[in-house]
Chains A and B, each alone.
Chain A
């Protein structure tokens, strides 16, 4: 039986002014909060633990277990910090979610805060998305006006304030400890762990850091129950998730489906690869996850299966590339991104991305050597697992996987520029005017 879509977070996106509180309440919003407030906090934690919800930010760590790591209350503050610093190339799920249905997130934050004993939650949103920032501000105002935030929420005696904070434009601040430093007003660089945020996070207090989609999924679990949530997905990867299809696909967009769906199924729903073309490679979870090819069309998109096939489910950012795309060029652009976004703290990431970029640019220009390919792989080996945080690891994934599946294109980079082999205008969905003179046919 073919898997079908399971719209939960996306259910009301087509409603009129779906982002308003009224629209959210009309669709049954804030029932979860009322139910949660009637339960002991520990039961809410148990419910989320039982649901098997795993972090939707990429790493897939069980959300309820993360909450359980908080030490016993000592009378001091504990914080919930929501990571809305969505900046991974290809990842585009949280921002549409916050635009279309911000109250999902806010209700989730209130329930989570209640569950973990937090009275001041922080929402760290990527600074570049000003429209989302403004929408969230308005949404928090609406929720506050309605008594969902502030003191004695819904007469329960529970107090909560949410602070919305805009980042300053650094990809690294999506890393949870760098995010905390940034939130504290410091330079955004990852912290040494241990101590983990659960023990000493924001302002050195116990802190839970969760992704937007994880938190937004909580109200549904509270309303529907953990068994309802587990009825979707696979045994170890339960529930629904947003699959963001982009690139050379007929109908790109958000497809909310149970974990374990395959790209083949998703592509059918999305109308397939753009007309007249065929799938060449794709990312299962954003640019930091090793690429897949057509041979992986039937890999179930759950944490275990994708891992077994040599990649990571990540953020389910499915970037689809057809046969007109130069893998060398795509990988070079990604690597340039990592070079630009490396925070600079540790040597492998800072210097490694700097070097990788230069080697890749050489190969893209058709001026590489065969030794350069081995050099790329060895550099990636010297970065992978040696860097301070996962940014360095992520920077190597596209390169090593691209060489694994498309070594011949790198070999071609020793004599032919990538834009000769793959004229870029063939890849574009619109009329393409190169900004720079190209090395190949246009030269």
Chain B
């Protein structure tokens, strides 16, 4: 940890070393306003001037977008040596955003050149003639580059007394993004972002001259195909309704108030907002964000700037999905179930006493014949490192058990071995920067755009800028993969291991083998591979065979924290194996206890099965959505059956209904903490809002206290001190997984293998209360091949019912190029949760039938 570091050793999750300054190539010496500077060859004058602290006004220029030279605001006077070596003035002022510095060049900005100053004033006046004077009601007013630079580099009054250009306003590009064309200065930042960065071109320049405008596309002109959003939207260039996961970035980089978000429009004034840096809590990418709040209410979130992680971009989910933290169903006081079986508010003292008594009873029932003995911990997958560490220590020290598992999703013992062998304690071995350098990247069980938005953008950047090859082992080529110009290695769910093992032997995969053998090649595996028997084993073998480096890219924000903090039944913090007595002794010494439980614990599924069978006395449950679990029905029964349930939650949930004691905890805005990215990079964030809510580690510390155990994790400083003291583990690690690939299930007529993954925007609880964002989610569809469709008797666009013994889902069928006898469903679309409705997951067999036309998704 970098915070409050007092430890002598490497800490548990060390911060990334400061990147060495890139070795500079050939340097170019030139002057700006008489100040001599040396910059690497190819540096734009506007960047070099920035480094000298000289700000040249600009609009279209953006460091992460290709130069456009469109707005002409950054004009400077330039002198350069001619062929004879004599310094000569360029006849015209030059746009410094497109001009590379050359040796001996002398640049005079508005500070030293009356010509440059006049040119800038002239352009500014022209930009303003058609710009409305609606700053007092414009979202951008107060933080507007046009407003600011009009003050610094513009005329005090206008000479324009003529007719302004006007447009009907606004155009709703999607339910979230609105466009007021009369404010637009046509800098093309938004169109360049959508084309160069996100790759989902949905708006473009239309018409010409003074009528030029940013516009949307007309389905009647372009035809229609593909993924539609839930809400109304405009169409993209391919004629598809615009469904972008990155559209919010265009609002942020718009240098005027032309693009606004429906959620924030007219809600506040920038100068009333207090900004606190934060880290996105929706995925394992660890995007830097800025939380803008006013009087205790978060009004918006913006992308923070972090070149090592998210550059300046974030997903729309990280940007817009924050209302869950202040939802009306927030739990504000501890709750205790009374004699009538009703939850009623209680004081912390009372609630903790009741919880401690209940947990003690569950560990040692009064009745010796009671088989329900012991307490297990299910902390969920969204924890900060500090909270994850606290849950792990609480389980092992206060409850004396290794029955703790942070995996609230399909999981396997093979995965656990893989995490212990390859992931835990090996932080920052593959990073975002490696994506920028890799010659080829193989995605396995990972849908980058849906599950790892920033990695997707960085991969795409490399695909566009340096022809990175992306390959994906999946059931079908998603639009995200198409935008990575990716190659699909088709695999029916469950056969991924077979495909991985074929790389190097199967002639059809020879190119893949060659690519992965290139230095710097990467294999990124997703959490979904846990559902494939032998998948992780094959991935490890593949990495060893080809020399490609292997990284695990889970979806949820807390997955890597959980692995590092030891929230696995066989793993202690830092990759210490439970089974290793030296590791236990090391940790017991650090924790100041005599010994730690030596028996590896039970996994999430085993814990739930035990509780359902009456084999567990109590459960301590963190932020857990039962519908996320592999079989939500079993989970519900397990919690119903468990003698005593303590829930630590932000909001009222299904667990709350089944809990005996509910202890409210703070959402990320109301506590400081550290998220850990998939790379193992610590992402500390401060507390944004003043709050009485306590972080999980603090609540657990007090609960342990009530149990008579001192955890010593009351403050975040104490946690950090302990993490630093504890440090990493250089002893023996868990061995590599070696599970043979399972035979794929036999598919009988009328059945198919289920393929499924989460979409970025879906029915997840962290997206609730944000209708504008929800409207941009993709419309849930079922995808099947043409052959399967014919066999089932469903037409493209027709209704398909997918069922198991547990239930059914009916969705519109979309015929897609994919293997026969496979059906793809979004895992958790609104109203169509696969796990909840079917109790099935990727690789399981489901039945297919034509659906009744009038049926909506139903469980």
- Contact surface of A with B, Cβ cutoff 8 Å: 170, 172, 187, 189, 192, 339-348, 350-355, 358-359, 362, 375, 378-379, 381-383, 385-388
Docked CA distance A375–B125 (Å) = 12
Nearest B residue (CB) for A375: B159
What CA separation (Å) do A171 and B162 show in the bound complex?
Answer: 26
* Nearest 10 Cβ contacts at the A-B interface: A344-B212, A382-B122, A385-B92, A351-B126, A342-B209, A354-B210, A358-B162, A344-B208, A347-B72, A344-B209
Q: Is B208's CB under 8 angstroms from A386's CB?
A: no
Separation of A341 and B207 alpha carbons in the complex (Å): 10
Given A347-B71, A386-B119: A355 touches B98 (CB 8 Å cut-off): no
B165 interfacial by beta-carbon distance below 8 Å = yes
Residue ID in chain A nearest B125 by CB atoms: A382
Which residues from chain A contact B433 at a C-beta distance below 8 Å?
A: none
Contact check, A388 vs B70: say whether CB atoms are below 8 A apart.
Answer: yes
Report B's interface with A, CB cutoff 8 A. 67-73, 75, 91-93, 98, 118-119, 122-123, 125-127, 129-130, 159-160, 162-163, 165, 185-186, 204-205, 207-212
Closest CB in chain A relative to B55 CB, distance in Å = 19
Q: Chain A contacts of B186 at CB under 8 A?
A: 344-345, 347, 350
A347, chain B: closest CB distance, angstroms = 5
Q: Which of A172, A187, A381 contacts B122 (CB 8 A)?
A: A381
Can you give 12 A-B contacts (C-beta < 8 A)?
Answer: A170-B208, A187-B204, A192-B67, A192-B68, A339-B210, A343-B208, A345-B186, A347-B186, A348-B123, A351-B127, A386-B93, A388-B72
Give the contacting residue for B160; candidates A346, A355, A381; CB below 8 A: A355
- A385–B68 touching, CB < 8 Å: no
Say yes or no: B72 contacts A344, CB within 8 Å: no
Considering only CB atoms, which chain B residue lies closest to A188 in the complex?
A: B208
Given known A-B contacts A353-B209, A355-B129, A388-B70, A347 and B123 have beta carbons under 8 A apart: yes
Contact A348 B72 (CB under 8 A): yes
The smallest C-beta distance from B129 to any residue of chain A, in angstroms, reads 6
* A182 CB → nearest B CB, Å: 12
A388 and B209 contact, CB distance less than 8 A: no
Q: Tell which of A339, A378, A386, A387 touches B209, judged by Cβ atoms closer than 8 Å.
A: A339
> Which residues on A sit within 8 Å (CB–CB) of B122?
348, 378-379, 381-383, 386
Task: Say which residue of A172, A189, A341, A386 sits within 8 Å of B72 (CB atoms).
Answer: A386
Q: Which residue of A lies closest to B211 (CB)?
A: A344
A339 to B207 alpha-carbon distance, docked (Å): 13
Q: Are B210 and A353 in contact, CB atoms less than 8 angstroms apart?
A: yes
**CA separation between A388 and B159, bound complex, in Å?**
23
Q: Are B126 and A382 in contact, with the CB atoms below 8 A?
A: yes
Q: Which residue of A lies closest to B186 (CB)?
A: A344
B70 — which chain A residues lie within 8 A by C-beta?
A: 345-347, 388
B209 touches A341 (CB 8 A): yes
Instruction: Report Cα–Cα, A319/B461, bound state, in Å.
Output: 52
> In the assembly, what is the distance between CA of A354 and CA of B75, in Å?
21
In whole angstroms, how far apart are the Cα atoms of A346 and B91 in the complex?
A: 19
**Do B119 and A382 touch across chains, with their CB atoms under 8 A apart?**
yes
Inter-subunit contact A192/B209 (CB<8 Å): no
What is the bound-complex CA distance between A170 and B208, given in angstroms?
9
Name the CB-closest residue of B to A189: B205
Q: How far is the CA of A346 from the CA of B75 in the complex (A)?
A: 12
- Beyond A340-B209, A343-B208, is A192–B69 a contact (Cβ under 8 Å)? yes
Residues of B within 8 A of A342 (CB): 208-210
> With A342-B208, A348-B123, A354-B129 in contact, do A388 and B69 touch (Cβ < 8 Å)?
yes
Given contacts A344-B186, A347-B123, A354-B165, contact A385 B93 (CB under 8 A): yes
Please, which residues of chain A bring their CB within 8 A of the CB of B119? 382, 386
Shortest Cβ distance from A389 into chain B, in angstroms? Answer: 10
Min CB distance, A167 to chain B, in Å?
Answer: 13
> Nearest Cβ distance between residue A89 and chain B, in whole angstroms?
16
- How far is the CB of B180 from the nearest CB of chain A, in Å? 18
**A351 near B75: Cβ-Cβ < 8 Å:** no
Given the contacts A355-B162, A386-B122, A346 and B72 also touching, CB distance less than 8 Å: yes
Which of A170, A354, A385 is the one whose CB lies under 8 Å from B130?
Answer: A354
Cα A339 to Cα B130 in complex, Å, equals 14
CA distance A386 to B116 in the complex (A): 10
* Contact partners of B125 in chain A: CB under 8 A: 382
Of the candidates A170, A345, A352, A379, the one having the most CB atoms from chain B within 10 angstroms of its own CB is A345
The closest CB in chain B to the CB of A392 belongs to: B72
User: Quick one: which of B67, B73, B162 contacts A347, CB cutoff 8 A?
Assistant: B73
Q: Is the CB of B207 within 8 A of A344?
A: yes
**Distance A170 CA – B207 CA, assembled complex (angstroms):** 11
Query: Quick one: given A342-B208, A375-B159, are A355 and B72 in contact (CB under 8 Å)?
Result: no
Complex CA–CA separation, A170 to B68 (angstroms): 21
Pick from A187, A189, A340, A350 the residue with the most CB of B within 10 Å: A350
Whole-angstrom distance from the CB of B663 to the nearest CB of chain A? 59
**Chain A residues in 8 Å Cβ range of B130:** 351, 354
Q: Are B91 and A385 in contact (CB under 8 A)?
A: yes
Chain B residues with CB under 8 A of A388: 69-70, 72
- The residue of chain B having its C-beta at the shortest distance from the C-beta of A361 within the complex is B162
Contact of B98 among A192, A344, A350, A382 (CB under 8 A): A192
- B185 touching A347, Cβ below 8 Å: yes
Q: How far is the CA of A351 from the CA of B123 in the complex (A)?
A: 9
Report the Cα distance A189→B208, complex, angstroms. 9
B160 partner residues in chain A, CB cutoff 8 A? 355
Measured in the bound complex, the distance between the Cα atoms of B165 and A355 in whole Å is 11
Most A C-beta atoms less than 10 A away, residue of B68, B71, B162, B209: B209
Of chain A, the residue at the smallest CB distance from B213 is: A344
The residues of A that contact B71 with a CB separation of less than 8 Å are 346-347
Within the complex, the shortest CB–CB distance from B254 to chain A, in Å, comes to 16
State A362–B161 Cα separation when bound (angstroms): 11
The complex places the Cα of A163 from the Cα of B373 at a distance, in Å, of 84
**Which of A339, A341, A355, A362 is B126 in contact with, Cβ under 8 Å?**
A355
- Bound-complex Cα distance A19 to B186 (A): 46
Identify 13 new A-B residue pairs, CB closer than 8 A, beyond the known A344-B186, A344-B210.
A192-B68, A343-B209, A343-B212, A344-B209, A345-B186, A345-B212, A346-B72, A347-B123, A347-B186, A353-B210, A355-B126, A355-B160, A358-B162
CA distance A304 to B209 in the complex (A): 33
- Cα separation A355 to B159 with both chains bound (whole Å): 10
CB distance from A244 to the nearest CB of B (A): 26
Residue of B nearest to A387 (CB): B72
User: Could you tell me the distance between the alpha carbons of A345 and B185 in the complex, rounded to whole angstroms?
Assistant: 10
CB B632 to nearest CB in A, in angstroms, measures 51
Which residues of the other chain, A, contact B210 by a CB distance below 8 angstroms? 339, 342, 344, 350-351, 353-354
The residue in chain A whose Cβ has the minimal distance to the Cβ of B59 is A347
Cβ–Cβ contact A350 & B123, under 8 A = no
Query: For A358, what are the chain B residues with a Cβ–Cβ distance below 8 Å?
Result: 162-163
Residue from A352, A354, A387 with most neighbouring chain B CB atoms (10 Å): A354
CB distance from A370 to the nearest CB of B (A): 13
- How far apart are B181's CB and chain A's nearest CB, in angstroms? 13
Return the chain A residue nearest B207 by Cβ.
A344
| Bound-state Cα–Cα, A247 to B776, Å | 59
Shortest Cβ distance from residue A42 to the other chain B in the assembled complex, whole angstroms: 24
Smallest beta-carbon distance A189→chain B, Å: 8
* Nearest B-chain residue to A187, judged by Cβ: B205
Q: How far is the CA of A355 from the CA of B130 in the complex (A)?
A: 9
In the complex, chain A residues whose CB is within 8 Å of the CB of B129: 351, 354-355
CA separation between A340 and B208, bound complex, in Å?
Answer: 8
A347 touches B163 (CB 8 A): no
* A340, B163: Cα distance in complex, Å: 16
How far is A172 from B207 in the complex, measured between Cα atoms in Å?
Answer: 13
B46 CB to nearest A CB, Å: 14
For B212, list chain A residues within 8 Å (CB): 343-345, 350
Q: With A and B bound together, what is the CA distance between A351 and B125 in angstroms? A: 9
- Which B residue's beta carbon lies closest to that of A355? B129
Shortest C-beta distance, A242 to chain B (Å), equals 29
Residue of B nearest to A382 (CB): B122
A388 to B188, CA, bound (A): 14
Chain A residues lying within 8 Å of B123, measured Cβ to Cβ, are 347-348, 382, 386
Q: Give the distance in Å from the alpha carbon of A170 to the alpha carbon of B209 in the complex.
A: 11
Chain A residues closer than 8 Å to B209, beta-carbon distance: 339-344, 350, 353-354
